[in-house]
Amino acid sequence: MDVKVFHYLIDALKVAGCSIYEDNIPVLYNSLIKLQSENHFNSVYLWGRIETLSNDYYIAYGHQKDPIENRIFFYTQNILEWDIMPTDWSIHETDLVRRIKTKLYGNPRYLETIDNSNKKSQETTEYPIAPSVVMKYDDYVESGEEDVQNIENITFNDVISINEADEIMETESIDDPSNLKSSIKEEDRLAITVQMIDNECHIVPRGYLYKLPNGKIIKAPYFKGLDYSEIGNEKNFLHINPQYCRPKGPTNDVRPDYNGSIDFLESIDKDIPKGCWTSRIFSNRYFIIHSLLWPGAVFFQDMNTGIHGYFYNGYGLKNLDLPFMI
Amino acid sequence: MYLHKTQILIHLQDILNKILSERPANPLENFEKYSMLLKRTYIHNETNFERVFVDNINRNYCFKSLQMYKCASTKQFERQKQYNKNKRNIINSEIDQREEKKTTTNNNAIAKVQNLCEVNYMFNKAGFGLPMDEASLIYLTMNEMAQLNKFESIRFWGKIFGIKKIYYVIECKWSNEELERKLLTVNSINHNSKLSKQIFNDIADNNLSHQETKSIDIENAQEIGNEYESNLSYLDGEIIENSIDQFDSWISLNDSDSCKTIPKSSSKIVLESEMIGVGTNKNVYFVTNKLNTRWIELESIKPHHIVEARKIKRYITGKLKNPIKSFPKFNGSESEYLRAQIARISSSTQISPRGYYIIDKKEKSWNEISDKKSLASLHSSTKISENDDLILNENFKPISNNNLTNSSYWVHKNPQIDMNGVTNKLGFSKFSDSKKNEENFEEVEEEEKFSYDENIINSKDDLFGNLGNDISVDNTPAWKGVLCSPLDSRYSHTVMKSHVWPGAFAVAYNLQTDYMYIGWGQKQNSNTLYSTFIEETKLENVTIDNTSTVECQEFTTTQKIENEKHGLRKNKNKNIFPLQYNRKAYKGGEKK
Would you call A21 and B164 a contact, using CB atoms and an 8 Å cutoff? no
How many angstroms separate the CA atoms of A301 and A305, rounded?
8
- Show residues of chain B in contact with A27, CB under 8 Å: 487
pLDDT by position in tens, chain A (length 326):
888 888 888 888 888 888 788 888 889 999 999 999 999 998 999 999 998 888 889 999 999 888 888 889 999 988 888 999 988 888 888 888 888 878 888 888 888 777 654 443 333 333 333 333 333 333 333 333 333 333 344 444 555 655 544 444 444 444 444 445 578 888 888 999 998 888 888 999 988 888 888 888 888 888 888 888 888 888 888 888 766 555 555 556 667 778 888 888 888 887 777 888 888 888 778 899 999 888 889 999 988 888 999 999 988 888 888 877 77
Residues 498-527 of B with CB under 8 A from A: 499, 502-503, 518-520, 522, 524, 526-527
pTM confidence score: 0.69
How many angstroms separate the CA atoms of B518 and A18, rounded?
9
Would you call A122 and B579 a contact, using CB atoms and an 8 Å cutoff? yes
> What ipTM does this complex have?
0.78
Band of residue B83 on the pLDDT scale cut at 50, 70, 90: confident
The whole-number pLDDT of residue B355 equals 80
- Residue A81 contacts B, CB cutoff 8 Å: no
- Residue B570 contacts A, CB cutoff 8 Å: no
Q: In what order do the strands lie in the sheet with A57-63?
A: A83-84, A72-76, A57-63, A43-50, A308-314, A297-302, A286-291, A277-282
How many angstroms separate the CA atoms of B343 and B340, rounded?
5
Residues 150-179 of B with CB under 8 A from A: 159, 161, 163-166
pLDDT, tens digit, for every residue of B237-281?
333 333 333 333 233 333 333 333 333 333 445 566 667 767 778
Among A270-284, A285-299, B101-115, B326-340, where is mean pLDDT lowest? B101-115
Report the residue of A21, A222, A326 to disrupt the B interface, i.e. the one with the largest count of B CBs within 10 Å: A21
Whether residue B320 lies inside any domain: the answer is yes
DSSP codes, B461-486: T-SS-BGGG-B-SSSSBSEEEEES-T
The residue-averaged pLDDT of B547-558 equals: 39
Q: At what angle do helices B548-572 and B434-451 cross, to 10 degrees?
A: 20
- Show residues of chain B in contact with A125, CB under 8 Å: 527, 530, 534
Q: Minimal Cα–Cα distance from A291 to chain B, Å?
A: 10
The residue-averaged pLDDT of B539-558 equals: 39
B541, pLDDT greater than 60: no
- Residue B398 contacts A, CB cutoff 8 Å: no
Query: Alpha carbon B302 to chain centroid distance?
Result: 14
User: B69 or B101, which is more confident?
Assistant: B69
The whole-number pLDDT of residue B522 equals 85
User: B177 or B552, which is more confident?
Assistant: B177
**Percentage, residues of chain B above pLDDT 70:** 53
Cα–Cα distances in angstroms (integers) from residue A230 to residues A202, A221, A236, B212, B253, in the given order: 19, 19, 7, 48, 48
Q: Which of the given ranges, A110-114, B87-91, B473-477, B499-503, has the highest pLDDT on average? A: B499-503
**Number of residues in chain B:** 592
Would you call B314 and A278 a contact, using CB atoms and an 8 Å cutoff? no
The whole-number pLDDT of residue B197 equals 41
The whole-number pLDDT of residue A311 equals 93
Cα dihedral B130, B134, B136, B140 in deg (nearest 10)? -120
H helix runs in B93-147, sequence order: 95-108, 116-125, 132-146
- Show residues of chain B in contact with A53, CB under 8 Å: 476-477, 480, 499
The whole-number pLDDT of residue A157 equals 53
Cα dihedral A232, A233, A238, A244 in deg (nearest 10)? 150
Given a contact cutoff of 8 angstroms between Cβ atoms, the answer to whether A204 and A238 are in contact is yes
Counting Cα atoms < 13 Å in the Cβ hemisphere of B238 gives 22
The whole-number pLDDT of residue B109 equals 56
> Can you give the residue ranges of every domain in chain A?
3-114+183-324
Whether residue B395 lies inside any domain: the answer is yes
The whole-number pLDDT of residue A312 equals 93
Q: In chain B, which residue's Cα lies nearest the Cα of A77?
A: B486
The whole-number pLDDT of residue A61 equals 93
The residue-averaged pLDDT of B487-491 equals: 78
Q: Minimal Cα–Cα distance from B477 to chain A, Å?
A: 8
Whether residue B5 lies inside any domain: the answer is no
- Show residues of chain B in contact with A304, CB under 8 Å: 56-57
- Residue A99 contacts B, CB cutoff 8 Å: no
The whole-number pLDDT of residue B181 equals 82
The residue-averaged pLDDT of B190-207 equals: 44
**Count of beta carbons in the 10 Å neighbourhood of residue A37:** 10
The residue-averaged pLDDT of B549-563 equals: 43
The whole-number pLDDT of residue A82 equals 92
Would you call A17 and B503 a contact, using CB atoms and an 8 Å cutoff? yes
Whether residue B183 lies inside any domain: the answer is yes
The whole-number pLDDT of residue B99 equals 55
Given a contact cutoff of 8 angstroms between Cβ atoms, the answer to whether B170 and B186 are in contact is no
Would you call A54 and B480 a contact, using CB atoms and an 8 Å cutoff? yes
Q: Minimal Cα–Cα distance from B180 to chain A, Å?
A: 38
- Show residues of chain B in contact with A115, CB under 8 Å: 576
The residue-averaged pLDDT of B123-144 equals: 86
The residue-averaged pLDDT of B20-27 equals: 82
How many angstroms separate the CA atoms of A220 and A223, rounded?
6
The whole-number pLDDT of residue B95 equals 55
Band of residue B581 on the pLDDT scale cut at 50, 70, 90: very low
Q: φ, ψ for residue A45 (rounded to 5)?
A: -120, 140
User: B81 or B282, which is more confident?
Assistant: B81
Counting Cα atoms < 13 Å in the Cβ hemisphere of B564 gives 5
Given a contact cutoff of 8 angstroms between Cβ atoms, the answer to whether B92 and B449 are in contact is no
The residue-averaged pLDDT of B388-393 equals: 70
Report the residue of B475, B530, B580 to disrupt the A interface, i.e. the one with the largest count of A CBs within 10 Å: B530
B454, pLDDT greater than 80: no
**How many folded domains does chain B comprise?**
1
The whole-number pLDDT of residue B96 equals 54
Residues 6+ apart with CB under 8 A from B257: none
Whether residue B268 lies inside any domain: the answer is no
Cα–Cα distances in angstroms (integers) from residue B58 to residues A205, A219, A281, B61, B317, in the given order: 21, 29, 11, 6, 23
The whole-number pLDDT of residue A133 equals 37
The residue-averaged pLDDT of B488-506 equals: 85
Residue B328: give the domain boundaries. 110-197+274-361+389-426+461-528
Whether residue B285 lies inside any domain: the answer is yes
User: B535 or A148, which is more confident?
Assistant: B535
Would you call A275 and B163 a contact, using CB atoms and an 8 Å cutoff? yes
Q: Which residues of B261-276 are buried (b: 16+ CB within 10 A; e: fewer)?
A: bbbbbbbeebbbbbbb
Of B166, B313, B502, the CB nearest to A325: B313
Among A4-18, B45-59, B104-118, B350-364, where is mean pLDDT lowest? B45-59
Whether residue B256 lies inside any domain: the answer is no
Given a contact cutoff of 8 angstroms between Cβ atoms, the answer to whether A38 and A81 are in contact is no
Q: In chain A, which residue's Cα lies nearest the Cα of B314?
A: A325
User: B206 or B549, which is more confident?
Assistant: B206
H helix runs in B248-333, sequence order: 250-255, 264-268, 303-311
Residues 211-270 of A with CB under 8 A from B: 227-228
The whole-number pLDDT of residue A73 equals 93
Q: φ, ψ for residue B288 (rounded to 5)?
A: -155, 160
Q: Minimal Cα–Cα distance from B579 to chain A, Å?
A: 9
Counting Cα atoms < 13 Å in the Cβ hemisphere of B506 gives 28
